[in-house]
Amino acid sequence: MNISIVTDVTLNGTSVPQGSGELSVSSGNTLQIIGSHLGDAGLKATSLIGDPTAPLSTVALANIGSVTVDASGASITVNITMNGRITRLLRADDDTLVYSFE
């Protein structure tokens, strides 16, 4: 099994470091996840969508926008289609934490 490694995340071209706090996203934003083996297992996001009092939930990236994985698996681009906050990125197959904004 290849290990998905995230080396950088950008929102609209601006790097968002780990530990920088919840990532606020809005419809029309572009989230790019850069690393290696990202397409092998896919990724999920722990997020709060819509209502700010709603509980966090873990969802497939496709639930927050349209997803494109480059052929090499070195980047995933998500064109955001909702408003909310993202706290973590996880492997889709086993929920291993790969990037935390908290």
- pLDDT per residue rounded down to tens, the chain (102 residues): 567 789 999 999 999 999 998 899 999 999 999 999 887 778 889 887 766 777 888 999 999 999 999 988 899 999 999 998 999 999 988 889 999 998
Give dist(CA 20, CA 31) in Å, integer: 15
DSSP designation for 13? T
What pTM did the predictor assign?
0.89
Among 14, 11, 19, smallest CA distance to 78 is for: 11
Structural domain total, the chain: 1
Name the residue range of residue 60's domain. 5-100
Tell me, letter by letter, the H, E, C secondary structure of 17-81.
Answer: CCCCCCEEECCCCEEEEEEECHHHHCEEEEEEECCCCCCCEEEEHHHCEEEEECCCCCEEEEEEC
